[in-house]
Amino acid sequence: MRTSDHYDVICLGFPIWYYGAPNVINTFCKDYDWSEKKLYLFATSGGSGIGKTAEKLMPYVTGAKIINAEVLQNADDLKNWVSKIER
């Protein structure tokens, strides 16, 4: 049993890399069973928005429902983002 099997809601964070998640995130994600998981994505970026990051990640998180995807710039953004997560 993998660690992700114990959770229904998963938060996944990464830096924006050429308008998407870094390849290492795609590689990490494809090895897990995302069935019926609620997935919240957050990213950091010096200037890019979230763009189509969630769309680009979808083939690697098959079965997950991506609930939200946002770029966070500071601690206040993080606090606000966390307050929106369904538990």
Concatenated DSSP letters of 6-25: G-SEEEEEEE--SSS--HHH
Domains and CATH numbers, the chain: 3-83 (3.40.50.360)
Q: How far apart are CA 29 and CA 45, in angstroms?
A: 20
Q: Kindly report, residue by residue over 34-83, the tens digit of the pLDDT.
A: 999 999 999 988 778 888 999 999 999 999 999 999 999 889 999 999 99
Q: Kindly report, residue by residue over 11-35, the tens digit of the pLDDT.
A: 999 998 888 899 999 999 998 899 9
Number of other CB atoms surrounding residue 81 within 10 Å: 17
Residue 4: HSE in the Cβ half-sphere, 13 Å Cα cutoff: 17
* Residue 13: predicted pLDDT: 94
pTM of the predicted structure, to 2 decimals: 0.85
In angstroms, the Cα distances linking 60 to 18, 25, 81 are 17, 9, 23
